C-alpha cells in the first residue's frame, strides 16, 4: 500500500461513520481507529507478533469528529428486499460519467444483474442484485461515500 492509498483510506474513514478499520497483507498491517488511546487499551490489543509499525514519510495528525447521538426512528414495514453495500467505498450508479445508470426506479432486474459499482482502494466492485424484481427505491446518489451495510436499493 503506497502513501496515496493510505491518505485516501484515511479520508474515507474520516468522512464515514466507521469507527475502526484494520488491514493486513503479508508483513504489513494498518489499523485506523476513531477511539481514544485509553478506550483502545481497555478493549485489548493485538498479540505482539501481529503488530507492525507503519512509517509514513510525513505523518499527519488526523482530526476526527465525535460520534453524533441519534435517536432511533420509528420503523415501518419495508416492502421488498433491501440491497446493502458489502464494503466501504464510493458508489457509482453507471459504468462511466457519460453512460446511463445501470438501474433506475421502475427498472426490472433479474438475480445477478449489476445494480451499481462500489470503488474501494481503487478496486471497482460490481454489486449484483440478489433477487429478481423491480427497483422500488434508490437510497444513494452517484459518487456518494457509502458504508458497510448501508442500504443502496430496494427491490420488490
Q: What is the pLDDT of residues 98-146, one digit of tens each?
A: 999 999 999 999 999 999 999 999 999 999 999 999 999 999 999 999 9
> Minimal CA–CA distance to 116: which of 147, 148, 153?
153
List of E strands, the chain = 20-25, 28-33, 81-84, 89-92, 108-109, 114-120, 123-128, 133-138, 145-146, 151-155
- Rounded Cα distance between 60 and 6, Å, is 11
Over the Cα atoms of the chain, what is R_g? 19
Question: Are 41 and 90 part of one and the same domain?
Answer: no
Q: Record the cell numbers describing residue 152, joined without a space.
A: 443502496
Instruction: Supply the pLDDT for residue 112.
Output: 95
Is 141 contained in some domain? yes
Is 55 contained in some domain? no
Of residues 28 and 87, more confidence is placed in: 87
> What does each C-alpha distance from 2 to 9, 78, 103 come to in angstroms?
11, 43, 34
Q: What is the mean pLDDT of residues 85-103?
A: 93
Q: What is the dihedral sign for C-alpha 130, 136, 141, 142?
A: positive
- Rounded Cα distance between 49 and 132, Å, is 47
Is 45 contained in some domain? yes
| Whether pLDDT at 147 is above 80 | yes
Q: What is the mean pLDDT of residues 56-80?
A: 62
Q: What is the mean pLDDT of residues 73-98?
A: 85
Q: What angle do CA 75, 81, 86 make, to 5 degrees?
A: 95
Is 21 contained in some domain? yes
Is 70 contained in some domain? no
As beta bridge partners, residue 33 has: 20
Of residues 40 and 28, more confidence is placed in: 28
Banded model confidence at residue 18, pLDDT cuts 50, 70, 90: confident
Question: Are 88 and 148 part of one and the same domain?
Answer: yes
Is 134 contained in some domain? yes
pLDDT in tens, 30-63: 777 776 655 545 555 555 555 555 555 555 566 6
Q: Record the cell numbers describing residue 3, joined without a space.
A: 502513501
Torsion, CA 143, CA 5, CA 63, CA 48, rounded to 10: 130
Q: Which domain holds residue 149?
A: 81-155
As beta bridge partners, residue 11 has: none
Banded model confidence at residue 7, pLDDT cuts 50, 70, 90: confident
Total number of domains in the chain? 2
Amino acid at each position: 500500500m503506497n502513501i496515496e492509498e493510505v491518505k485516501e483510506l484515511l479520508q474515507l474513514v474520516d468522512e464515514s461513520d466507521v469507527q475502526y478499520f484494520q488491514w493486513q497483507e503479508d508483513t504489513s498491517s494498518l489499523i485506523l481507529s476513531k477511539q481514544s488511546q485509553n478506550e483502545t487499551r481497555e478493549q485489548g490489543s493485538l498479540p505482539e507478533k501481529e503488530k507492525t509499525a507503519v512509517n509514513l514519510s510525513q505523518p499527519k495528525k488526523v482530526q476526527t469528529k465525535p460520534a453524533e447521538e441519534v435517536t432511533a426512528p420509528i420503523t415501518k414495514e419495508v416492502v421488498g428486499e433491501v440491497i446493502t453495500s458489502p464494503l466501504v467505498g464510493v458508489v457509482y450508479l453507471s459504468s462511466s460519467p457519460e453512460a446511463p445508470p445501470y438501474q433506475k426506479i421502475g427498472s426490472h432486474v433479474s438475480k445477478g444483474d449489476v445494480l451499481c459499482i462500489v470503488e474501494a482502494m481503487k478496486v471497482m466492485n460490481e454489486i449484483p442484485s440478489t433477487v429478481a424484481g423491480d427497483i422500488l427505491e434508490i437510497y444513494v446518489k452517484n459518487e456518494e461515500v457509502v458504508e458497510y451495510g448501508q442500504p443502496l436499493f430496494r427491490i420488490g
